[in-house]
Structure 1
Amino acid sequence: MNHPFTVLRSVLRTGRRRLAGTLALGIVLALAALVVPDSTVAPTNAELVALPEASGVDLGTLAKKDVVWILAVGSDARPGEDMLHTRGDALQLIGINTRTHAASSIGIPRDSWVDIPGHGENKINAALYYGGPRGLGDAVGDLVGIRPTYVFVTKFPYLENMVNAIGGIEVDNPVAFSDEFLKPKGFKKGRIHLDGYDAMAFSRIRHALLRGDFDRSANQQRVLAGIQAKIRAHQSDVGFLAKGVASVMKNLSTNLSPAQLFRLAQAVARVDPAKIRTCVVQGSIGDVNGASVVMPFVSAARAMGEDARDDATLSRCR
């Protein structure tokens, strides 16, 4: 894998004009909750993995390819655990159309009960534990019908620190809710401000929500939108994105080359916020050996994937 500082040095050598474009990496990371704060521990805070079939793709031809799909994963890895082989706590499949500048995010409830090749039936987030990024990419691909080109895995504590670093975010909360452990005072309905801890809690609470895992996935999308809006609003501020990009490079482990990172950043930077659509895979609530699970509506999930696969545009939620 490329060392993060090698990536950063390559970026800096490209000169001022190209650096300005590279600062768009902050937007790339924001879209997929990938912005991570400065840390003395590197480079284990975030992993961006090109799946085998994607490793030979020339990102310089993205304009011809049109669509790229990134699976963003919030890992629940504990200290000392390999975050590429733990259970994924948040799953968002993000599509970007480099020609129309549209983007879509398909939320996958983490408790979706699916078949994991070679390991039988289990919650979809267990696919990361058993098969790493490729195994999770395959499981999501089987459910939705879209196999991601890249898988990005990071941890919730770094989401907290990043949100604090940019001064918090604003989200539109459709319903008031609380949690006796994570947020006893709760979140009020309407436009609210979230600091880092609140953004984490807002993304993780499910038991207090009417539709549990489905509403939690939608709240994760609201947090992503809030991060993107904040970074877009301040991307021209002197040093704002430069600091974020330098931090990302210090914490990022990847099998992409510096040139591929740059081109991927350029592709996402052109996304038009007015053309972003979000949906969550739906299903029924079931019970397996005493554990609550989501029985996904597979046909509807695949119809959603069919709708967005070729142009990263969701016409409607299924």
Structure 2
Amino acid sequence: MRHAPSPDHLVPGMSDRRPKRRGRRVLAVLLAVVLVLLVAVAGAVAYVTSSIGNDISRIPDAFRGLDAGSRPAAFGGTTFLLVGTDSRADVPTTGAAADPEADAGSQRSDVIMLGTVAPDGQSGSVVSIPRDSWVDLPGRGPSKINAAYAYGGAPLLIGTVERLTGIRVDHFGVIDFAGFTSLVDSVGGIDVTVARPTSNAGVDFAAGQNHLDGTQALAYVRQRYDLPNGDLDRASRQQNAIKALLQAVQQKATTDPGAVYSFATSVGDAVSVDDSLSNTGLVQLAVQTRHLRGPDLAFVTAPVSGLGREGEQSVVYLDDAQGADLWSAVRNGSVTQYADLHPADTLSDTPS
């Protein structure tokens, strides 16, 4: 099955106010700040995490206006809401290089993931939520979930995801196209396995293993058409790229700590996180997750019951019953067991 193209206008007149430059569309991949920077780097360079933290851009008031009494209860783990935005701005929008005047709330969240570390720091999960999921936005009613960031920035998206999942979001992170490209290049590229030959943005992907630099990796994760399941397959590619980046960083951590430190410092130029994640918090997470490795992470996609249309929009309908099982598994640290029961929603070794 394949998605029909989604409409460009989440907010009336939005694209009329910003130039349509295809080359400035922002990354369709989320980079889990903890799962990449801390999990992969902690064992080798935890002692410099605090200094690295000084270079990471902070997002002010990401939880502004959320009613503490109505939010889901904490379950002991640490959960990040991780966003890749679809910006049309002509300047960087995330990381230390971001224009301070950039209006983050005017961007669409092209990809949404929950990255969770279990309370004991021994396992974790990355769950993709399809960007076209038809959900209830607090105070606005039914809409695509990727409209939440455009309508209300981080607070509305956080509130929407918490209502959908029943999982409390502890931290918020965002990355853009240029940031992802530079991170892939900083580790010398990534290796991904492709199920069958495809092409996108002038890049050919052969069946089997492909070594990709940053520009090629961006084409890989942005491909949507010529994939059997459209956006759902693209979400798998995005997870696959994150997993490959983790593996590349972990390999360097055992052979060249200096190169890993260089990668870690580049994170500050690529990502932004909420301002409640202090340098002390970064160090604590580094210690907590120092033994966590890629094989300890489960990569799944929120279950889908079908595709359809709402007016002129192509949408994804989530499976509420199976979704309840998934969100419960996230809370109790049993996503691996959930993945075993639902292989169709689990990242395969050779995604399309």
Q: Counterpart of 2:90 in structure 1: which amino acid?
A: P
Q: Structure 2 vs 1, CA of residues 23 and 314 (structure 1 numbering), >3 Å: closer, same or farther?
A: farther
| SS of structure 2 residue aligned to 1:69 | strand
**Cα distance, 1:24 vs structure 2:** 6.7
Q: Structure 2 vs 1, CA of residues 48 and 23 (structure 1 numbering), >3 Å: closer, same or farther?
A: farther
Q: How many residues align?
A: 277
Q: Which residue number corresponds to residue 99 of structure 2?
A: none
Q: Structure 2 vs 1, CA of residues 241 and 203 (structure 1 numbering), >3 Å: closer, same or farther?
A: same
Q: Which residue number corresponds to residue 246 of structure 1?
A: 265
**Cα distance, 1:260 vs structure 2:** 1.1
Of 56, 77, 81 in structure 2, the residue corresponding to residue 67 of structure 1 is 77
The 5 Å alignment of 1:103-122 reads 103-122=124-143
The answer as to 2:230 corresponding to 1:193 is no
Of all paired residues, the percent bearing the same amino acid is 27
CA distance in structure 1 between the aligned counterparts of 2:184 and 2:197, rounded to whole angstroms: 21
Q: Counterpart of 1:205 in structure 2: which amino acid?
A: Q
Q: Counterpart of 1:290 in structure 2: which amino acid?
A: E
Q: Which residue number corresponds to residue 20 of structure 1?
A: 45
Is the CA contact 1:84–1:128 (under 8 Å) kept in the aligned structure 2? yes
Is the CA contact 1:98–1:268 (under 8 Å) kept in the aligned structure 2? no
| SS of structure 1 residue aligned to 2:238 | helix
CA distance in structure 1 between the aligned counterparts of 2:47 and 2:195, rounded to whole angstroms: 35
The answer as to 2:159 corresponding to 1:138 is yes
Is the CA contact 1:71–1:93 (under 8 Å) kept in the aligned structure 2? yes
Q: Counterpart of 1:279 in structure 2: which amino acid?
A: V
The 5 Å alignment of 1:274-313 reads 274-283=295-304, 284-311=306-333, 313=335
| SS of structure 2 residue aligned to 1:210 | coil
CA distance in structure 2 between the aligned counterparts of 1:67 and 1:43, rounded to whole angstroms: 23
Q: Counterpart of 1:257 in structure 2: which amino acid?
A: S
Is the CA contact 1:169–1:195 (under 8 Å) kept in the aligned structure 2? yes
| SS of structure 2 residue aligned to 1:315 | helix
Is the CA contact 2:79–2:115 (under 8 Å) kept in the aligned structure 1? yes
Is the CA contact 1:162–1:196 (under 8 Å) kept in the aligned structure 2? yes
Q: Structure 2 vs 1, CA of residues 308 and 19 (structure 1 numbering), >3 Å: closer, same or farther?
A: closer
Of 74, 86, 89 in structure 2, the residue corresponding to residue 76 of structure 1 is 86
The 5 Å alignment of 1:5-44 reads 20-22=45-47
User: For structure 1, which runs of at least 5 residues remain unmatched after alignment?
Assistant: 1-16, 30-41, 57-63
**Cα distance, 1:65 vs structure 2:** 6.6
The answer as to 2:105 corresponding to 1:94 is no
RMSD of the TM alignment (CA)?
3.2
CA distance in structure 2 between the aligned counterparts of 1:210 and 1:286, rounded to whole angstroms: 17
**Cα distance, 1:120 vs structure 2:** 2.1
TM-score normalised by the chain length of structure 1: 0.76
Cα deviation digits, residues 130-164 of structure 1 (max 9, x gap): 22222112222222332321110111221011111
TM-score normalised by the chain length of structure 2: 0.69
Query: More displaced, 188-197 or 227-236?
Result: 188-197
